[in-house]
Amino acid sequence: MTQPAPPSKSALSLPDVLVALGITLLGVLMIIGTQRINSSGMNTIVGPRVFPMIISVGLTLLGAVLTVLALRGDRAEPAAEEDTDPDAPVNLAAAGIILGGFLVGAFLLLPLGFVFGTAIMYFSVAFAFGERRFGLMLLVSLLVAFVTYELFTRGLGLTLPPGILKGVI
């Protein structure tokens, strides 16, 4: 609530401008997408295009305003969270590792099975958060994945892919 004085408005922030332009572009694309919704031969009073049109035009306008403000030097302050340090250097590689590990795990979920797929995800997050005790990480990853699998399949009756462990667990 009580925020410090707004940051200096001198320098233009390129990321902020790009985000604002991206939002505007999304709005424009949604307007085009709205035109593609089939509304011929409808006898309803409010067709399927009305709401999408209102929202896409709204988003485009809001994006345009944000672009103007960003071009005038406005910049966003990153959020402060429980475990973040606002002064820490930004480590985008960590986010990349998590995302990469997640996608690899997701695509191996069916062929290898839930246990190994999520173990890959678990391992990559722990690595990205700076953990380097590899033996421990491997053990915990497999353990968490296995216990989760058992808990949700046996306990709550969900079907999760067993993969190569089919018949074993």
Pick out residues in 109-138 that bind another protein (CB under 8 A).
Answer: 109-110, 118, 121-123, 125-131, 137
- Which one of residues 44, 72, 167, 168 is an interface residue with another protein (CB under 8 A)? 44
The answer to whether residue 47 forms part of the interface with another protein (CB under 8 A) is yes
Give the residue with the Cβ less far from another protein, 83 or 166: 83
Give the residue with the Cβ less far from another protein, 9 or 51: 51
* DSSP assignments along 107-130, one per residue: HTHHHH-HHHHHHHHHHHHHHHTT
| Least distance in angstroms from the C-beta of 117 to another protein | 8
Convert 55-94 to b/e letters by CB count within 10 Å (16 or more is b): ebeebbeebbebbeebeebbbeeeeeeeeeeeeeeeeeee
| Least distance in angstroms from the C-beta of 167 to another protein | 19
Q: What is the CA radius of gyration of the chain?
A: 24
Footprint of another protein on 60-89 (CB under 8 A): 62-63, 65-66, 69, 76-79, 81-86, 88
Q: How far apart are CA 160 and CA 168, in angstroms?
A: 14
The answer to whether residue 165 forms part of the interface with another protein (CB under 8 A) is no
